Amino acid sequence: MTGENPPENGTRTDPDASAETEYPTDVLVSPNWVDARLDRFATAEPDLRLLEVDVNTAFYDTGHVPGAAGVDWQTDLRSADSHDILGADEMASFLGARGITEETTVVVYGDNSNWFATHLYWQLTYYGHPDVRIMDGGREYWMDYDYPTTTEPVDPPTVEYEGTFGPPAKPEVRAHREDVRDALDTETVFIDVRLPEEFRGDITKPPGSNEGAMRGGHLPGARNVFWAENVRPDGRFKSVDELRDVYESHGITPDDDVIVYCRIGERSSVTWFVLQELLGYERVRNYDGSWTEWGNMIGVPIEIDE
C-alpha cells in the first residue's frame, strides 16, 4: 500500500465516533482521515490524490475539499467513441491527467452519499488500479459538519500512468447484458436499487431527465432494495450489523451470486461497494447498462408487479 497512514491530528470532534474505524481504511476512509492529510493531496508527489465526482456537476465550483480535483462524469467518465464507460487507454490518460500513477492512493468522494464516487471506484476496481478508497459520507457530510473547504481549482501535474488496463484486471465485477440474460431463471439474485415507483414501472425516468427507458418495470425475479438503505441519515454508510440486516431481511446472503443494477449503473455502484467491499459478499457484479439498456432492448423479458 502506498498511502501510509500518518497519525491524525485529532483536533476535530466527530458527532458520532462509532463509525470512525469500523471498516478497513484501504476501502473506506473517514472524513477525519482525509482532514488529517489535506496538505498532501495536491502536492507534486503523486502518493495521494483526492477526486470529487458529483451527480450535480455544478457543486464542485461552489466549494470542495482543499486539494480535491473535480471530475465531471458527463465529460470525463464517458467513452468518446462508444456509449460506455471509459476504455482502457482513456482511463489511463484520465488518471495521468489528474496526477495519478499506478502507485497513487486515490480517494474519491461526491454528492448523494457517493453515487458517482462509488461508480468511479467500481471502474477503477474493474480496470485494476491497486489502491482506491471512498471518503465516507461524501460531499454532504463534509459540508454539513463544517470541515474546511475552498473554491480554488486544483490541477495536479500530469503524469504518465505506467500501468496497463487492457484487459481489465477484474472483469468479474461487471455484468454485461449477455450475463444478465444468462442469469435469468437461475439462482443469481438481481437487486434493483431504484425507488419503488421506478421498480414497479410507474415511471421510466426521473422527471425532467431524458435518460430513460421505453418500458417500465424490472428484471424478472429482481428484489427491490433501495440504494439509500445503505446509508445513515447523515450520508455515511450504516454499520456492518445494520447493513447485514438490510440484505438478510431480503433473503440475500454472502454466498449468493448477485447482480445489482439501477437506471444508469451509478446508484447500483453504491450497493455493489457495500456488498463486495464492506460486507465481503463473494460474487457481486454491477450491471452498468442497467435499466436504460434493458428497458430499451428488443426481445428481453421484463416484469411489472408490486
Partner 1 sequence: MYDFTFEITYDAGADEYVDLFIDRESLRSEALFSCFDPTELWALESVTGDPTDLAAVDELLLDEAVDRESISARACNSTRTASLLTEEQRRRVAYTYISDVDFCESVPLIAAKYVDGGMLLEQTRTDDRVRWRVLVQDDSKIGHLYDTLSAKLGEGLSFSFKHLTEVDHWESGLLSRADIRAEQRETLNVAVERGYFETPREVTLDELADELELPRSTVSYRLRRATAELATRFAEQQL
To partner 1, the closest distance from the beta carbon of 231 in angstroms equals 8
C-alpha cell at 124: 477503477
Q: Which is nearer to partner 1, 57 or 101 (CB)?
A: 57
Q: Which is nearer to partner 1, 205 or 244 (CB)?
A: 205
Residues contributing to the site for partner 1 (CB under 8 A): 55-56, 58-59, 112-113, 140, 143-146, 195-197, 202-203, 205-209, 211, 226-228, 233-234, 267
Q: Which is nearer to partner 1, 89 or 242 (CB)?
A: 242
Eight-state DSSP code of residue 260: E
To partner 1, the closest distance from the beta carbon of 297 in angstroms equals 23
To partner 1, the closest distance from the beta carbon of 73 in angstroms equals 12
Q: Which is nearer to partner 1, 84 or 197 (CB)?
A: 197
- Whether residue 70 contacts residue 64, with contact meaning beta carbons closer than 8 Å, is answered with yes
To partner 1, the closest distance from the beta carbon of 109 in angstroms equals 16
Distance in angstroms (rounded) separating the CA atoms of residues 152 and 163: 30
Distance in angstroms (rounded) separating the CA atoms of residues 177 and 105: 32
Omega before 168 within 30 of 0, i.e. cis: no
Q: Which helix (H) or strand (E) holds 68?
A: strand 68-71
Return the active site residues. 262
* C-alpha pair distances (Å), 32 with each of 3, 141, 239: 15, 11, 17
